[in-house]
Structure 1
Amino acid sequence: MTCKGYGDGQQGLLDNMPAGIIIADRHMKVAAFNNAWSEICRECMGKKMERGADISASMDEEVAKMLAQAIHGKKAEASCHQLEKAKDRYFDLIAVPVMGGGAMLMAVESTKRCQEMKALEAAKSEVEFYVDLMSHDIRNFNQVTMGYIELLQLSGALSDVERAYLEKARKGVIDSNKLIDNIKKVRLIRQFAGKKLARMDLCRILVEDSREVGGVFPKARISLGFDAKEPRYIMADEYVHEIFRHIMENAVKYDPHPEKLIDVTLKPVKRDGRDYWSVAIADHGTGIPDEKKSAIFERMSRTTRGAGVGLSIVSVIVGKYGGRIYVEDRVKGDPSQGSVFTVELPRGSE
């Protein structure tokens, strides 16, 4: 199979390579190939490889396209590609320019890996379908249940105890709907958060979020202990608001006092040689015991802060931004005096 321009030594080197290799000249003609590529052509394209053949007319369309790009100086790659007639075999392809003009393409079989990837994608799609289906149907059932609860609450023949039970049932339905929303939100965040980051002013984010929470919870008294006029930049996206709003909302919900006091501070910190902005949100709530501090960030954890996916969502987003989150006692050694949630996010360019 020695080709013109390629000596026995060079051809032997090509043939000893396990990957399929084809070399094209600058005119898109076959200059050389190895035994592995010859076998790929025969088994996967039903064609016999010949030197001097026109690649554009005789090759798999993707292979011809990649070689053409490489001849013009542009490296080309393709993963899990199926050659023309090889519907059950996959190859990873890479084409690169060669000295003196022309290009070389290498084909490495990746059938097992690609089949496993496609099986995982199919399983993921099936799971998402069932989650969507269940979420839709459960929400419909909840609406029916809520309708009957509200009708019963209109009755004048209920005792105070019965009304209290109905209110608990109503709250359970509301929490069920919130859990459905959070599960859907987790899916979106895991798929899209952190993919397209932009420079954002952390001060403006905290001001907006504190106003939002204050509007929903009139008893909240949120104190911002920093100069909001001085920008502090981070790299984030629209999901950043989920972090601080959720922590502030929890600070209100789990504070038994008539007035809900929340203190927000912001300062620069350095960790592992990198600069971060550290946001500390302190509350006066019921606190979190030491043995449960790490568990509250785990998915579907059940702690003194209730059950759900809220703080796990926050943890995922912070991780997507390359930061970290942790919780400590507001009064060291006394969890009952409230908590301080600290979020550290990498500093963006000024």
Structure 2
Amino acid sequence: MKKALKILLVDDNTDHLYLLENMLKQLGFQYASAKNGKEALDKLKKDDFQMIISDILMPIMDGYKLCQIVKNEEEFKDIIFIFYTATYTSEKDENLAYAMGADKFIRKPTDPDTFLEIMNDLIENMTSSSITSATPLESEKEILKLYNQQLVEKLEKKVQELEKSETNYREAYNRAELYKDLFSHDISNIFQVILSAIQFVDLSLGKIDLDEEIDEMIQIIIHEVERGSNLVSNIRQISQMDREVFKVETLDAWEILKERIEILKNSFLKPINIETQLETRHTKVKANALIRYTFTNILVNAVRHNENEIIEIIIKVSLVQKEGKDYLKVEFLDNGQGIEDFRKELIFSREDSPSSGIGLGLFLAKRIMDEINGYIWVEDRVKGDPSKGSNFILLIPATD
């Protein structure tokens, strides 16, 4: 059954998509990928799939609408539909998913073994023709009401998060380039929620008569658009101020590293051997919480850019001095593809070619290290031979 089963993955987050593709590939499943609901529908019309694993919040067409269309089309309705989401995780979100016709609702993150067990149960039920979708709500009107309520709640939460972060952006002119990509993603999500609501309303207009309650819901959405637009305008003005803010606090780098290592091991099915060498008890540093991102980026790159059957990573932690100051030195040695000498500095800049596969990750990591007065660079794991892997080195200011 595994060889015959073909799965369609739908997610606009390339990292999440990569993890799913990697897992299914190692388990021997056939799969194809799409970045949104519309792209998924196009693929469904051209190929036969027995299962769909979809995120919910996506551009152009979200997962809810995709599920509704799939479960209402005669040729697609028997396809197993699994929601796998990190944004829509409440009980209401789950109820709406089943109302739309979903066969399973899974919250991210879920470890690979549990995920595989769920898939196998659904496949077994499909094979025995015993799979049944959840009972739908009584009417299109009821679904529309629940859908709009969920969208407004998510929209309110996103706007509140951005309003809370407005103070941090107020003095961020010198870091504008660092936050531009991160902020634009959040803004894109806000307006995508709005677009999804409008699309759903448009889809349902021909089926029901809108009452005052539904009309009020639409007015709320319009109001939230105005709030979002005002927020964007405010932040654009704030970004012009020639001041900067970057909160530095005392953090335990060793505890953060252990947490990041566990997350990495649960994200990949391929064998990963990680050896840690702790050469100091003093692991407290003066850094920002974004140091987690730096650790994660280096660890994930060590796996992604590695074609060996077994991934080998050695992490060394020691205390060193540079120019009379104490630093926690963290080294990540891997057996991956390595980095040619001419690119050793280039990879930390935005000029590095997108085709390298590293993208903005190391550029952001470098900016984070600069903000905490730290250092980051890369050497050959075996001096003079880039093909034997890399050694990414961080110097993080140590506490007194």
Range class of TM-score, shorter chain: 0.3 to 0.5
Larger proportion of helix: 2
The TM-score normalised by the length of structure 1 is 0.47
- TM-score, normalising length from structure 2? 0.42
Q: Looking at CA atoms only, which structure, 1 or 2, has the larger radius of gyration?
A: 1
